[in-house]
């Protein structure tokens, strides 16, 4: 019997996120969209006046904060309906209108930064001391001052704000093609049973115990993207060109500089990661060989990398996953655990199960003043348990930040976000390895662990290397074509897989096309790998130090964007300017490989 995805309207309400907690109905959303748009002309009365007094500046900052947050609520509501059913044209239309509004807001407020930067630094310091309303903005002024060389005139800043919407079109085309329009031939099992391939099912199919299911899922999924490779290559090329254009428009030395400098991340963090990753590729090569031997294969294929190594993997219903995650996070205290359980089980933070047209992957979103929200496609296994733990890490980071910081510091950035998400996985994994002693459970859990590390500590650094090279090619004036992108991706993966994995160059090489969001967020992907390194270091500190370690970590969550992210992480106990945290994460990875090898040898040893 074929396996198919349900339509969106077939998903039970209690299993969906509560978008109506933002606006009770589309009519209320329409009214607010119109109201925000109508308020934009009134912002012009501030133009040219911000340098006149502390009072005027404080009034502006409050107005800007309010209008931006209101616009983001409009975007958030529309995006929540669009993400769960990308084929819904009405939802897509609302999302497009919301993004258009947000672009207009950015253009309308663009004059402010050049005006504030025209003020002498000592004036802002004096005004901050004189007017208590400006005190919360002290760090914002510091950040602004560091951006001084890269802020353009009011007219140019307004133009950059206006192009944000059309510049987003390439990402939207790639995303719509992936999530709504692409159709894949079904996966076919060894007994002939067919399973529908969609963004919500591909991961489960690649973990199937049936090798034909895995092979046909991998090949048909890749072939779907290969069939539109030229279109997607043009999208990615345009996205990279936009990054290069914006870097040059703001006077940065490169796209990498433009990505890291505003976030105050030292350049050596990126380069240390890549160098340490390449140094430790033998750890991955050893894992591929252990997996090959356990599966009794002469050659390991790419579609075997996620095959189950035990035939008795546990079934983990959603409610059980929440229970185990809550137990794993217990070192952080009752308040953290209660908020987590309430959000996951009662307040409908999570859009839980897959449906046709649902966006691929998983993410956490929301805004100061709303609930955190999670999109995922849960499938009753330890892999989904881990994904849920990851996204709850993001959501609790937001929960604590929004409780502790004003809206201006509600955005803590990817560099910190990926630490909080991977931290949850590290703590939950350690808890389950200690408490669930059944060898089959441990093997299944370590499979998930290796799959998670494969994504964040193998695929993401490989994509980061790819991203650096394609940006440098555009910066040198070279062209990006589908075939050159495929060849580059295949070359990088071949180095990572080594001699132990046989790979189809074109089907592996199209991997870049399967990331319709990540590669449009200028040098985003490397922060997954720094995140997993920082997370494992902090989880180790919490487990060793007890309450003092937990308090430091909760303070890390509460800091949000009120300090430079690198400083926030360093004060929590991790300094990523050194290779040491990445080295430690590879040591953790190696320990998991050793443990898995021991379990598999014991399982397969003769009695």
Query: What is the set of active-site residues?
Result: 391
Is residue 159 within 8 Å of residue 153, measured between CB atoms?
no
β-strand pairing of 363-365 with 194-195: unpaired
Using CB atoms within 10 A of its CB, is residue 296 exposed (0-12), middle (13-18) or buried (19+)?
exposed
Using CB atoms within 10 A of its CB, is residue 149 exposed (0-12), middle (13-18) or buried (19+)?
exposed
Compute the C-alpha angle 498/499/502, nearest 5°. Answer: 100
Distance CA 232, CA 335 (A): 45
Is residue 271 within 8 Å of residue 578, measured between CB atoms?
no
DSSP 438: -
Give the phi and the psi of residue 594 in degrees, each rounded to 5.
Answer: -60, -45
Kindly provide the b/e burial profile for residues 588-606, where b requires at least 16 CB atoms within 10 angstroms of the residue's own CB.
bbeebbeebbebbeeeeee
Distance CA 137, CA 309 (A): 53
| 238-241-247-251 Cα dihedral, nearest 10 degrees | -140
Distance CA 570, CA 553 (A): 11
Question: Sheet containing 373-375: which strands, arranged edge to edge?
Answer: 350-351, 373-375, 363-365
Contacts of 221 (CB under 8 A, 6+ apart): 184, 197, 202, 514
Distance CA 426, CA 437 (A): 17
Distance CA 593, CA 585 (A): 13
Residue 292: both structure tokens together = 């090959």
β-strand pairing of 300-301 with 194-195: unpaired
Distance CA 496, CA 283 (A): 10
Tokens 């931290």 belong to 423
Residue 58: both structure tokens together = 């404080």
DSSP 261: T
């Amino acid at each position: 019997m074929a396996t198919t995805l349900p339509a969106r309207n077939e998903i039970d309400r209690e299993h969906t996120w509560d978008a109506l907690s933002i606006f009770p109905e589309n009519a209320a959303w329409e009214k607010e969209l119109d109201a925000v748009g109508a308020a934009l002309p009134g912002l012009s009365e501030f133009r040219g006046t911000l340098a006149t007094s502390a009072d005027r500046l404080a009034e502006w900052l409050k107005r800007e904060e309010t209008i931006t947050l209101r616009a983001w609520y409009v975007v958030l509501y529309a995006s929540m309906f669009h993400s769960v059913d990308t084929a819904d044209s009405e939802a897509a239309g609302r999302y497009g209108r919301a993004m258009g509004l947000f672009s207009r807001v950015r253009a309308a407020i663009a004059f402010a930064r050049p005006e504030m930067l025209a003020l002498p630094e000592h004036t802002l310091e004096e005004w901050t001391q004189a007017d208590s309303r400006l005190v919360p903005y002290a760090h914002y002024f510091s950040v602004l001052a560091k951006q001084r060389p890269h802020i353009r005139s009011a007219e140019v800043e307004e133009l950059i704000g206006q192009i944000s919407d059309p510049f987003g079109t390439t990402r939207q085309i790639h995303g719509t093609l992936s999530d709504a329009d692409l159709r894949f031939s079904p996966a076919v099992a060894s007994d002939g049973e067919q399973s529908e391939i969609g963004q919500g099912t591909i991961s489960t199919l690649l973990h199937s115990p049936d090798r034909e299911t895995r092979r046909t899922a991998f090949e048909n999924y890749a072939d779907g993207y290969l069939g539109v490779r030229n279109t997607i290559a043009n999208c990615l090329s345009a996205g990279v060109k936009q990054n290069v254009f914006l870097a040059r428009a703001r006077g940065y030395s490169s796209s990498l500089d433009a990505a890291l400098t505003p976030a105050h991340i030292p350049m050596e963090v990126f380069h240390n990661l890549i160098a340490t990753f390449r140094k430790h590729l033998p750890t991955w090569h050893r894992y591929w060989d252990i997996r090959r031997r356990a599966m009794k294969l002469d050659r390991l294929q790419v579609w075997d990398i996620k095959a189950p190594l035990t035939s008795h993997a546990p079934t983990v219903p959603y409610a059980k996953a929440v229970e185990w995650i809550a137990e794993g996070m217990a070192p952080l205290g009752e308040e953290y655990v209660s908020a987590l359980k309430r959000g996951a089980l009662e307040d409908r933070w999570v859009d839980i199960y897959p449906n046709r047209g649902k966006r691929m992957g998983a993410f956490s979103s929301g805004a100061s003043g709303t609930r955190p929200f999670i999109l995922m496609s849960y499938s009753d296994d330890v892999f989904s348990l881990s994904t849920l733990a990851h996204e709850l890490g993001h959501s609790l980071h937001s929960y604590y930040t929004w409780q502790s910081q004003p809206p201006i510091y509600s955005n803590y950035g990817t560099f910190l976000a990926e630490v909080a998400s991977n931290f949850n996985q590290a703590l939950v994994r350690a808890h389950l390895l200690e408490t669930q002693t059944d060898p089959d459970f441990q093997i299944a859990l370590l499979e998930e662990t290796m799959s998670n590390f494969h994504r964040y500590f193998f695929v993401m650094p490989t994509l980061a290397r790819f991203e650096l090279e394609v940006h440098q090619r555009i910066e040198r004036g070279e062209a990006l074509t589908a075939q050159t992108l495929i060849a580059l991706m295949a070359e990088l993966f071949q180095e990572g897989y080594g001699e132990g994995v046989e790979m189809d160059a074109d089907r592996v090489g199209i991997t870049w096309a399967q990331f319709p969001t990540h590669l449009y967020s200028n040098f985003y992907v490397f922060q997954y790998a720094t995140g997993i390194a920082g997370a494992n270091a902090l989880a180790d500190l919490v487990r060793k130090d007890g309450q003092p370690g937990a308090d430091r970590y909760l303070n890390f969550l509460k800091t949000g964007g009120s300090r430079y992210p690198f400083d926030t992480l360093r004060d929590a106990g991790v300094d990523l300017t050194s290779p040491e945290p990445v080295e430690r994460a590879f040591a953790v990875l190696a320990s998991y490989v050793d443990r898995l090898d021991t379990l598999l040898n014991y399982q397969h040893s003769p009695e």
